[in-house]
Structure 1
Amino acid sequence: MDARERIVRRTALELQDGEVVNLGFGMPVGIANYISPEKAIIFQTENGALMFGPTPELGSEDSDFANAASQPITLLPGSSIFDIATSFAIIRGGHVDVTILGALEVDQSGNIANWAIPFDEVKYLPGMGGAMDLVGGAKKVIAILKHCDKNGNSKILQSCTLPLTGKGVVDTIITDQAVFSVTENGLELEEIAPDLTVEALQMVTDASFTINPNKVREYQMGF
């Protein structure tokens, strides 16, 4: 199991029966493939679909039905397809319980930077898109990302360095190494990978975090 699948499987455990959940571009779209059959999650995608399921089998896909990453989806009984104006009325109207977003950086104050990839001194790609609406409209924001970049530098920071998508909006951070909740006092460690010690985690985490030994548990792998 690679780091991305580990994150996606763990994130699926956060979702509760009956919730309306938006899956953002990147890793989040894969979560639809790892939902327990006992849970009835109503997935929403910003490009205009409600109540979809996992990736269809090869050959059974319909190019008209896609998620935020333009990948094919299955439509479940009661599902609907609609225009993007209706989709953002759902998001901005506060009807999304949880949004799950990939991130470039998150920090100990709950700030998230998930859109600005620098390609020149003062220019960024590709643009914020619907993320700015999602972090403002959803009741809960979960940020998922690899704990470190390809050079081994922490992506869980004291303060984000890239332009922000939202300030103080993240509730939960899930990486391949740990799960943090964002509290008014900063980050609190909830879960840690079984092959890590707290001391080792602190060494690869730029952000400060608190530890309650009675609450921290081993990282859950999911369905």
Structure 2
Amino acid sequence: MMIFDIILQAVVILVSVFMFLWMQNIPQDLFQKFCERRARSGIQAKRHFVLGAQLLDKARSEKDSSSISSLANSAAEEADKAIALDPRDAAPHILKALALDLQGFRSSAIDALDVALSSMTKKSLSTEERGDALLKRAELRVGLSQASGGGGGNIDSAISDLVESVKLNSKNAKAHLILGQCYEKKDLVDKARNAYEEALRIDPRVKEASARLNSM
């Protein structure tokens, strides 16, 4: 009973202190300051993201490899600054992945996309954006598979991403094309044919899908 009385007295004191602070508008002021700080952080994060996107766009238009690497590295640094300010926004994680990919760091780019597509951040993406992120991760995994001379695990993971991607955005011809290529690598001929046909149905200009169908 003595312990219960002590706890009860502590609760009463805490409630009294809180009520006093509330009457002095201290909790409201703290909450307002917290919201203002978060708003400022969000604005700063967006600025870093926009600057990083501009640097990435410039890097893609460059022809000199050293300039591409330098600009892409700067874009990744701006993405990191945005992430530090707002880690729950998927956009800077995707920007970082694209910048790393441009530098040839596929594994690191996949890691960045893993974060972008995690439960912590994916809610900030629209359905179509999530489909595009899954497509990009699949492309990177296919690239890693080709670089390693096989990598069946990467192909299986790529197929999983692509199946989810076309569910989220069924009108993406490129996703169907790459899905067909992955199915071919797994000797799933009927599924590959269906994927190529769907790519052509969406966009008859996808010549690679037509060529693959003709060779099957």
TM-score by length of 2: 0.33
Which structure has the larger Rg over C-alpha atoms?
A: 2
| Higher percent of residues as strand | 1
Higher relative contact order (CA 8 A, sep 6+): 1
Give the alignment's TM-score, normalised by structure 1: 0.32
Higher helix share: 2
